[in-house]
Amino acid sequence: MSKEKLSIIKIGGNVIEDAAALSAFLKLFSSLEGKKVLVHGGGKRATQIAGRLGIESKMVEGRRITDAETLEVITMVYGGLVNKNIVAELQANQTNAIGFTGADANSIVSNKRPVKTIDYGFVGDIKKINTQTLELLLDNGVTPVFCAITHDGNGQLFNTNADTVACELAIGFSKRYETELCYCFEKNGVLMHVNDDNSVIDFMDSGTYEMLKMKKTFADGMIPKLENSYIALSEGVSKVIIGNPTVIVDRKQKFTTLYL
């Protein structure tokens, strides 16, 4: 018996910061048929609001150092401001949605990232996905909308990479569904030349990725997407694509498909 299809869509980059682009994406997302889950970032918005509050944002190789003050801002911005505005707009587009952190319904459990050369602070590495409650919602026509916050089961919240959240949710759901993972951002796909929007790599296997990474072809922000993509494919996710938001409903345009 074939599995039912499920789409995991992660939206990030400058789309989240641009109200018109985000509205256009949410209309497209609402028109996507079948069961679906949305995962969103919001790091730039968190940096802006932290700055207004006089809290310095510290980054190392594109990854945020999350101290206690920063975690408070991230919880407010990701779980409140960004998540609830997205949910409200989805309701306006006749998509019945509900906002989630990993703590809600105990859906994403993490451990604090161990300190090696860098102490990232309150950053979580995902150890378990619980999909039972989420499957009940999906079966009843409700779309979960996840921000990039997880928890440890003992009352501690963690900032967690949104690309990783999408990847691990896709893997967790793949036991029941034929799961497609789609990373959407403002570019048309993975670019061979970062300043040339037309240099989209149509197909890329893991060997080609490793070769191009050694040549420093990719910008810092693309590497977590690609690392997570190949993890997802190796753990049972049926398909991973990267492209601009319209790719979720239009596969005639340029985008990147990843293979092992």
pLDDT at 78 over 90: yes
CATH of the domain at 29: 3.40.1160.10
Amino acid code (one letter) for 182: C
pLDDT at 61 over 90: no
Spell out the residues 6+ positions from residue 79 whose beta carbon is closer than 8 angstroms to its own: 99, 101, 147, 149
Q: What is the mean pLDDT of residues 3-21?
A: 93
Q: How many CB atoms lie within 10 A of CB 186?
A: 15
Scanning 111-221, the segments in alpha helix (DSSP H) are 132-139, 162-173, 206-214
pTM strictly above 0.75: yes
Give residue 219's pLDDT: 80
**How many structural domains comprise the chain?**
1
Closest CA to 203 of 245, 240, 232, 236: 240
Give the structural domain span for 155. Answer: 4-259
What is the share, in percent, of the chain residues with pLDDT greater than 70?
Answer: 99
